[in-house]
Amino acid sequence: MASGSVKTAILPVGGLGSRFLPATKAMPKEMLTVVDKPLVQYAVDEARAAGIENFIFVTGRGKAAIEDHFDHSFELEHTLADRGKNSTVENMRSIMPEPGQIAYVRQQDPLGLGHAIWCARHMLRDEAFAVLLPDIIIDPVAGGDGCLKQLVDAHDDFGGIVLAVEEVPRERVSSYGIIDPGKTTGNRLEIRGMVEKPSAYEAPSNLCITGRYILSTEIFDFLDKGVRGAGGEIQLTDAIADNLGKMPIHGVRFSGRRFDCGSKEGFVAANLHFGLKHPEIAEKVKRTATEIMQQQG
């Protein structure tokens, strides 16, 4: 299979973001900023670096700011240009995918991640596609590939379904989709089974599925049935599990640091991490963070 064979990505942004209320009452969770970029921009940048050319956003009510973010802001661009801030204008324009590369489909009811992906079914060709959850940010190791690129490379070797996986502490497995790992070669492993939000006792391992997927359109055979899973939601994990034994399913223990920005602690940690790396503010952030730590003991 040709290298970089995955060209389309779905970004589900139709969720309620209830863990972040009241911040997300009038603003999409995916537009919360980590230093100076909204979460969704980190995901789009990672996807582009993996060779993705087509972006399908699954949106919902109150998410219009995401569409505006990936469009021209004529008044702002004009005013900035008048003030000679041409590099800022260029920067803002570079955010935008090419005309026609971005599409939006509405998920009228947030019935779960599996349902969100199913809402995009008519916009896909019969070929592998990526899914990135924008509230998960994964910062690559210095000079290394982004997480999605690592998955695309594995897909070029194995085909089928490829998932990003990561170890979590045993006591936290009940918050994740957990896999049953098979044969492991380097950082790639076969997946023999998976279960959404198991108890620590039932969990087949402490390896969780985390925010990046290469999927096949076969998952829609299951999603078409609208079966509710854990938490009464239509679960993507269940649709993937339905394909066990029917096609290769692999996990990649990616290199890079993951932040779950859908949780408050993950979001604050991401701001600290990227703040401490940002060339304009790193020194000041370090000083302030040290001061605060000393004051608070």
Residue nearer to ligand UTP on the CB measure, 14 or 160: 14
Say whether 196 sits in a helix, a strand or coil.
Answer: strand
Does position 237 interact with ligand UTP (CB under 6 A)? The reply is: no
Binding part of the chain for ligand UTP, among 87-95, 111-119, 160-168, 285-293 by CB under 6 A, reads 111-119
Does position 38 interact with ligand UTP (CB under 6 A)? The reply is: no
Does position 229 interact with ligand UTP (CB under 6 A)? The reply is: no
- Burial of 101 (C-beta count, 10 Å sphere; 0-12/13-18/19+): middle
Does position 177 interact with ligand UTP (CB under 6 A)? The reply is: no
Report 247-286 residues binding ligand UTP (CB under 6 A): 262
Q: How far is the CB of 262 from ligand UTP (least distance, A)?
A: 4
Q: How far is the CB of 40 from ligand UTP (least distance, A)?
A: 8
Rounded CA gap, 113 and 61, in Å?
A: 16
Of 226, 7, 14, nearest in space to 106 by CA:
14
In the numeric block, which tokens belong to residue 3?
């290298």
Rounded CA gap, 44 and 178, in Å?
A: 26
Residue nearer to ligand UTP on the CB measure, 133 or 285: 133
Q: How far is the CB of 266 from ligand UTP (least distance, A)?
A: 11
Among 8, 54, 107, 205, interactor with ligand UTP by CB under 6 A: 107
Rounded CA gap, 118 and 186, in Å?
A: 33
Residue nearer to ligand UTP on the CB measure, 116 or 191: 116
Phi and psi at 230, nearest 5°, equal -50, 140
Residues 6+ away with beta carbon under 8 Å from 18: 24
Residue nearer to ligand UTP on the CB measure, 106 or 286: 106
Binding part of the chain for ligand UTP, among 73-81, 130-138, 140-148, 220-228 by CB under 6 A, reads 130-138
Running DSSP on this structure, what letter comes out for residue 197? S
Q: How far is the CB of 15 from ligand UTP (least distance, A)?
A: 2
In the numeric block, which tokens belong to residue 222?
């299951």
Q: How many residues does the chain have?
A: 297
- In this chain, which residue has its C-beta nearest to ligand UTP? 15
Of 171, 163, 192, nearest in space to 251 by CA:
163
Does position 15 interact with ligand UTP (CB under 6 A)? The reply is: yes
Does position 13 interact with ligand UTP (CB under 6 A)? The reply is: yes
Does position 58 interact with ligand UTP (CB under 6 A)? The reply is: yes
Does position 110 interact with ligand UTP (CB under 6 A)? The reply is: yes
Find out whether 190 and 205 touch, Cβ atoms under 8 Å: no
Q: How far is the CB of 66 from ligand UTP (least distance, A)?
A: 10
Of 53, 43, 45, 57, nearest in space to 5 by CA:
53
Return residues touching ligand UTP (CB under 6 A): 12-20, 29-30, 58, 107, 110-113, 115-116, 133-135, 262
